[in-house]
Amino acid sequence: ARVSPPLIDFSLRALDISSVNLSHQAPAALCALSVLLQPALRAKSSVVLSRLPVMLRLTLAGIDSNDQQKSLRTLVFYRNLVMWIPVGGSITLPNDDDHDGASSSCDSSVVDCSGRDGTVQIGKNLTETRYGLVESSDYKAAMAALPENSILFVQQTMEEEDDDDAEGVLMEEAMLAMADWSLAFLDRIYELLRAAGEQEKLGKGHGGVGMRHTSADVAMTKNFSRIMKETLTYLFAAMDDATFKAALRSVAQFVREETLPFAVKDASLLCQAVCSTRFVVSGGGNGGGDNPPTKDRSPGLDALVPILTEDLEHMSNKSAIYRLRCLSGAVRYAGSTVLKHREAITSAISFALSKSDDRALFKTGCKLLRHTLSSQCEEYPIAQGVHPKRVANNGSSPPPVLGTSALLHGDRIWWHVPSGEQIDFTVSLLSQFAMTRWMDLGSPSDGEAAAGAANVSLQQWRQTLRVLRYTLRGCSGILLDEDPEIILTQDKEICPKEMAAARLILTSSIQTRKVLQGLRRRLCFNLLDIISLIAKDTVDCESITNGEESEIRQYKKNETGSISTDSKICKEVIAISTLLSTRRGAQYRSGSAKSILQGQQEILTDWCLSAQTDFVSMMLSRSNDEFYRRINDSYYEDGENSGKTLPRALLVNTIHLTNQALTGYASSQVPRRLRKLRGGPSVETHESLFSLDMALETLQEHLRSKSEPYAAKHTSLEAYEALVDGLSAMSCHPNINVRGKALSNTEFALARVGWVVKHRRSRLLAAISLNDEGQKGVHGIPSCSELVNQINSQGKRSRLAEVVKGVAKIVALPKVMNQFLWGASNRYELVEALCGTQKLLKLIPPEEVPKVIHYVNSIFLSYRSKLYSLPRNTKTEQETHESCLTFLLDILQLQEGNTATTDPDKNVDDNDAGAMHWRDRLVAAWFVLQFIDERDMLENRIVSQVWSTCFKLIEEEQGQPLQRVSLGLLGRLVSLALVDMSQISHHNELKCPDVSALRAMFLQETFCRDFGNALVFDHREDSSVGGGHGAQWSSGVEEIIRDATSNLSRRTLFPFNRTSQKSRTFKVQHSQLIESILLAIGHDNAKTASCFLLKQAKELVASPPSEDQRNQQVTSAEIFGGCARALIQYSNTDDERNVIWETMLLPFLDEAVVKMPTDFLAAFYDACRYGIHHFPPSYFFPLLKWSVTKVQNTLWQHEVNEDVEESNGAASAMSDRFALQGKWLLIFQAVLVELDSEDDPGAAVCKLPWYSSIFMGNEDIKDTSTVTPTEIELGQSWKYVNDHLTPCLTNALGHPYDKCRDHIASCLFRMCYVQRKFINTYKALGNENGSQSSDDPDPGIEIMNKLGSIRDSDKYSFKEKNRALGTARKFVSCCIHWGDAKHEYSEFIIPLLPLAFKSLQTIEGEASPEDRGIEADLVKGYRYAISDISSSCVACYGVSNDLTLVLDVLKEMSSHDYWQIRQATAHFLRCFQGAHKFLFTEKQDEMSLSIAISLLADERREVSTAATSTLTGILAVFPQAALEELVSKYIKIANKSLKKKKRKKPPTEVSTEESEIAVTKEKARSVRQQKSVFLLCAVVMGRPYDTPVFVPEALAALSKHSFEQRASLSVREIVKMVCSEFKRTHTDNWEAHRKQFTQEQLEALEDVVSTPHYYA
């Protein structure tokens, strides 16, 4: 009640046409009004009612034919408005209890056997409890303490002035305004329809681009029509009787006077809304008693039917179509009122269906028939019951409170339930227009007889099938599978929808029941006959190769032809078959409507109330409350006390969609019931009734027969199952459009009768495998083996390709694919089919090969996406599994291009066949990869064949996808070989997998070479070579390769720390695979195999340039990583490990690193890390020592006489080795990274994690605070590094090579970082001097001292100093991005912060332009580094005085002589203060404020501007009281610092001393003025959204400094800029802000921001 009014006023201000500068807010304002409407009405309705006339007047302009988006938002707002507020007043609804013979206790609501109506309320008075907060004393005290300029304070004053007695007057005025608005709104809707019609007429004849509409345009148009329909429906439903009569007259006049053919859909929605929202009810109680009520008169339908059906014969076709479409909308939800106009409506339908030559008019008649049928035989809620203020007829119940959520309990929804008379009318329409035409198809005309036995009138068949389709869409709900009396006897098995339909039919006449008896079954068998005839004619016909029949061609009246080749007839037959087998009502699609309804409910949801309800519900459930235990999930949580904020309209829609969902469920429940009656899944399914034994004469005889032509023993369920076979036959139709239609409908039908797939699985696979001899037409599938002999006029087997594509698409359906996953035998059948496509691909035309491959691959992809592990519990399953593996291995043994079966009689081109054979082998390898498991590893016969096949493929399929899959298979086999088999073996003795074949192969040097080459090709293609494009894999190959890669090795978390892999090409899986292989074959054999592999790796690293060079060199690193890790694990002693390093691994690195290009060296970095990952330091101490020696012997060193050496050529000789130096530094970094155990601070010294005490008893926890051998080893390693490498690295800070400087900075950081971590861990364990001697220097201190002294050192030349400073900058960057944030900031970054600032100053001395360019790049880099430091939030994790230390550095730098350093200080302070402002103490706040203020008066404009921005951010979070005091202080300083006007005095001589004093005073005044003015500007800029009291005072003081005589140019410019910016940011709500100004302050502000007038 306090928040909503100002927000509504803001929204209305944005909608006012006079607010030109707020027009962009109009869409958001409409959305805000929609959201605010219900809360404002619920809290205090006068808030909305008092503003309603203005709201309606301002929003009506939003209905604009030139702006669809604006109209859409306005309609959404109006839809929400009329759902909550009535139009014209309340209405009186009939009361159920007023009629005789009605039971009031049962008729007001539907109750179950326990007397409950299905609703529940969780809490009590939840809304009142929440709103009761405003009456508390604390709330009132808080409201009283609000400042006078607060919007809530103003609203509180207005509420105190409100008169509660005026509520009734407001309501009356609002209802009058709503009534007037409704008629104006309808006029706007008429204009929309007229404009839509005119626009379409203008573009209709022009064609071209104007006629091309995208799917987005279609979706937008549909959405607009839906919202307009909902708005109109709720509008007419919300009207009182008087307003509705006026609106009805307006609509009737519009329909009578206007004909808008291109707006016919929206016009029909208008008619639907006006006819379905008002009924006159007479009769007995609603839904009970002996005298049920009837809605026998709809004023809307009574007014429109005479207009819409008058003189149709004499109208043009377009006008007739328009009238009939409007009539379709009018009757759609008109209920029993249609019976009053049955003759007129029937005549209109007859008129439309008699115009067989006009397709559009005929289709309109079909739609009218459909809507008339559905309106008479379907149940649906009547919109009249959604009026916001409904009053019962007896006046016993008061009207609902506006804004209150609708209740289902005690407020029954008003439904239309068909009567027996309506069913009779429905059946009469069905017989007259559908069944008569249907039977006429069985009586051939004279033209058909003359055309031939196989020809029919195509136009007659098309139109009859269309009429039948539309008829079934309207009345399929009353077509039952059995007699209603029989259905009602099966009470336990029946579904609610079927039971309701049976009871409804029993209310009709005997003649009606006779017509409906067995009608669905007969139609199913008739359709089955038609499909059988079509399948018979097309099973082996010649393929249609030209396109295919025009979809828009109009057949002549007497044109004849075969129904089998007519695509439209075939598609109509498919659609009708689906309707008969799946549709159980006219309204069944509730999915999309539910999504829309859910979105509308979420917009209106009161989340606070919903959360409160959830809390109450949770408390009740936890307390095991008796009330909560009585309810279940099916109860509807009703009203506000259950967290709902729904209007009546959305509540009715929710129940309606639930009813539609029941209709949808019936389509699957009825077939299941019929199947259960037949005996359930255990009963053997009868042979399919589908057959190719059908002739046109037989079909016609069945159609015209008045008696039942089909045997009674065949049930409708068997017809449904046979229709699935018919749809399968249509999926193999020669016409591509028919195939597509049939496939989509087949999937839909299988969702209802999916059990039929079980008996058709083998038939489908036999068709793909060409093994279906003698099965022509079985289950609707043509015999593919017979189609092999059928060749068209072009000598191609096109018909075979069409059938295979249709069958493959059926097999790929999810319902079918699930059948192949249930058992080993089913999987075996699918494997045989997918791996035996070679014969098929050889036979089909070449242009069809890619298409067939795509369709077959869709089966594979569907299987792949659903594959799961299946246990083999029986001997039969195990034998089937072994047979499947044997079959697959036999396929893999075949050479490419060879097949197991050949036909010498077939003269087929084999050129393409050889290229395709690899696909079968690839798929077979994938199946082996997926099927092999631990149990197979114990079967020597199977596993030995798998090993040999895998090795053979690796050797022979060089560079092929099959080789990559074989690597994955090898990885899986090795992983399974290393698995513990104790849980798998069922024998008494533990059996181990046999790896003798693996051991034998890796003892062969030739295979090791082939294996290494296979790893090369297992990488991704180098996109930088050959055009930069990726691999163009055939369909399905990429997925197979991806699965193979995932099986190379087990999952790993390497590197498991912040320092991730450096190389994107290095595949850890390859190193893991090599490691696993070596661990599986034994120690001695592993050494031999490692020698072979490392030898191959040496050759790979020295590969010549080619497109495979990168992969070859990276593979060499992968081989090294795997071999190193395996050999280290085999070594049990230090001596043995040292021998391995010295004899095998280090010699390889000596040779490989030198040959490896710098770009790919990151692979060796990752390989070294993987080889020593998580090993104790002693395991890789030889590698550490070797890498340190390499760096120490080769790294460039600074020398004093460098210039002399350069002249002698020594330095140039060293520069040739810079790349090699970078390589050794990178390898050394890898060792340093692995010396650091980042996963846990105590891991390096074997400390137990903190949570060990939770899982272990105290007696089980051993003391780990003593020095361990690992601890000693780590200390020795670091001592060696510090003694030998720290001086070397610090002496190379000015290295000439940039890449080496990067590595040097990284190494120095790693040494500081890991050493500090190592020492801290020791201290945490209480070992102050455990292994680090007190005499040993700390390398961190030495490195920091060296870096900090670079700028002041005189031993560097100009160029070398810049390089050394660059190294220091990179060291800082490493600390920022790689550090732990706990110590790096205080120990490394803060000490180097002064160096970073001072490095922004250029170095004095002479230098060449090239050197100055290098210096400029250095300054730029330091600016980036300073920016990183300032914006990083890591200081808060360090020592407590870190913030103070940083501010001390900034204070020192703020007084530096170099202005760029002062500017950088201001920028740094702005970011640093913003990142840590909530951590600053009061002293630190004052310190940062003083630094910023001291920089305001800087003589450089860049510095003062940066300081002003910094001060703006500081003052924005400053306390209000302190800020007012600061402003008052500096206003006085600013006023005193104004320039004084010079008085005219006679010139006098001034001494030098007086002149200097005057200059000093002027300078001091200028400083005071600039500082005070800039501070006041910062205060104003820090308030962009509000206007505190001190802001107008500051602006008035600033305005005095905007004149030339009183301030300098920089001061004047910033004053004008700040005043203009203030006015711009406060423009939206300027009327509220200006109240904070006095007239004098406003004039002062206007003097600055206003443009001087010409005459001023």
Is 436 or 615 the better-scoring residue by pLDDT? 436
Point out which residues pair with 119 in neighbouring strands: 636
Confidence of residue 1264 (pLDDT cuts 50, 70, 90): very low
CA 1596 to chain centre: 53
Q: CA-CA distance, 1094 to 1077, in Å (whole number)?
A: 14
H/E stretch holding 11 reads helix 4-15
Integer Cα distance of 700 and 563 in angstroms = 13
Which of the 8 DSSP states describes residue 1333?
Answer: -
β-strands 390-392, 91-93 pairing: parallel
Residue 108 has pLDDT above 50, yes or no: no
What's the pLDDT tens digit per position in 311-323? 899 899 999 999 9
130 compared with 1204, residue with greater pLDDT: 130
CB 538 within 8 A of CB 799: no
Q: Show Cβ contacts of residue 902 under 8 Å, excluding neighbours closer than 6 positions.
A: none
Task: Check: CB of residue 961 under 8 Å from CB of residue 922.
Answer: yes
Question: How many Å separate Cα 1565 from the centre of its chain?
Answer: 63
* Lowest mean pLDDT, pick from 7-11, 349-353, 1245-1249: 1245-1249
Structure tokens at 601: 């409910």
Q: What percent of the chain has a predicted confidence (pLDDT) above 90?
A: 45
Encode 45-80: b = buried (16+ Cβ within 10 Å), e = exposed. Answer: bbbbbbbbbebbbbbeebbeeeeeebbbbbbbbbbb
**1521-1565 pLDDT tens trace:** 889 999 999 999 999 888 776 666 667 777 888 888 888 888 999
Selected residue with higher pLDDT from 26 and 427: 427
Q: How confident is the model at residue 1022 (pLDDT cuts 50, 70, 90)?
A: low
Q: How confident is the model at residue 548 (pLDDT cuts 50, 70, 90)?
A: very low
Query: For 856-861, what is the mean pLDDT?
Result: 91
pLDDT in tens, 246-296: 999 999 999 999 888 888 999 999 999 999 988 876 654 433 344 444 556
Residue for token digits 């031993």? 1355
Q: Given this model, what pLDDT does residue 167 score?
A: 74
> Is the pTM of the predicted complex or chain greater than 0.85?
no
* Residue-level pLDDT at 1003: 94
Higher-scoring residue by pLDDT: 180, 1240:
180
Per-residue pLDDT at 453: 60
Model confidence pLDDT, tens digit, residues 1305-1333: 999 998 888 777 766 666 555 555 444 44
- Mean pLDDT value of segment 806-829: 91
3-class secondary structure, 957: coil
Structural element, H or E, at residue 226:
helix 215-238
As a whole number of angstroms, the distance between CA 1562 and CA 1565 comes to 5
Nearest to 737 by CA among 570, 600, 895: 570
1026-1045: average pLDDT: 75
**pLDDT for position 288:** 39
CA dihedral 1429, 1430, 1432, 1437 (to 10 degrees): 90
Average pLDDT over residues 1023-1040: 68
Average pLDDT, stretch 1105-1130? 93
Region for residue 1051 given its phi and psi (left: phi exceeds 0; alpha: psi -120 to 50; beta: otherwise): beta
Q: How many residues does the chain have?
A: 1656
For CA atoms 1459, 1461, 1467, 1469, give the dihedral sign. Answer: negative
Q: Are 1198 and 1352 in contact (CB under 8 A)?
A: no
pLDDT, position 681 = 81
Mean pLDDT of 1032-1050: 86
Q: Are 954 and 948 in contact (CB under 8 A)?
A: no
Mean pLDDT for the chain overall: 83
DSSP for 858-884? Answer: HHHHHHHHH-------SHHHHHHHHHH
Which of 972, 953, 973 is closest to 963 using CA atoms?
953
Q: How far apart are CA 613 and CA 624, in angstroms?
A: 17
- Position 1271 scores a pLDDT of 61
Between CA 1019 and CA 1306 the distance in angstroms is 30
Residues 6 or more apart in contact with residue 1094 via CB below 8 angstroms: 1119, 1120, 1123, 1144, 1148
Facing residues of 283 across strands? 293
Cα→Cα distances 795→791, 798, 908, 1573, 1582, Å: 5, 9, 11, 95, 84
909: its two tokens: 């081109």
Output helix, strand, coil percentages for the chain, rounded to the nearest 5: 65, 0, 30
Residue 116 confidence (pLDDT) above 80: no
Convert the pLDDT of each residue in 655-709 to its tens digit: 999 888 888 889 889 999 898 888 888 777 778 899 999 999 999 999 988 888 8
Q: Using 50, 70 and 90 to split pLDDT, how confident is the model at 916?
A: very low
Least confident of 712-721, 965-974, 1148-1157, 1234-1243: 1234-1243
Q: Work out the percent of the chain whose per-residue pLDDT is above 70.
A: 83
Is the pLDDT score of 1014 beyond 60? yes
Whether pLDDT at 205 is above 50: no
- How deeply is 443 buried, as exposed, middle or buried, from its count of CB atoms within 10 A (0-12, 13-18, 19+)? exposed
1645: left (phi over 0), alpha (psi -120 to 50) or beta: alpha
How far is it, in rounded angstroms, from Cα 247 to Cα 255? Answer: 12
What's the average model confidence in pLDDT over 1408-1428? 89
What is the C-alpha end-to-end distance of the chain, expressed in Å?
Answer: 50
Does the pLDDT at position 1614 exceed 60?
yes
Q: What angle do CA 732, 736, 737 make, to 5 degrees?
A: 110
Q: pLDDT at residue 1131 above 50?
A: yes
What residues have CB less than 8 Å from 180, skipping those under 6 apart? none
For 372-420, how does the pLDDT look when each residue is reduced to its tens digit (9 = 90+)?
Answer: 999 999 999 988 888 888 776 655 556 678 888 888 887 888 889 999 9
Q: Which bin fits 547, alpha (ψ -120 to 50), beta or left (φ > 0)?
A: left
Kindly report, residue by residue over 1640-1654, the tens digit of the pLDDT: 999 999 888 876 544
In this predicted model, which residue has the larger pLDDT, 914 or 1051? 1051
Q: Please write the tens of the pLDDT for every residue from 724-743.
A: 999 999 999 999 999 999 99
**Rg of the chain over all Cα atoms, to the nearest angstrom:** 44
Spatial distance between the Cα atoms of 1170 and 1060, rounded to a whole number of angstroms: 11
Task: Supply angle C-alpha 105, 109, 115, rounded to 5.
Answer: 65
Residue 907 banded pLDDT, cuts 50, 70, 90: very low
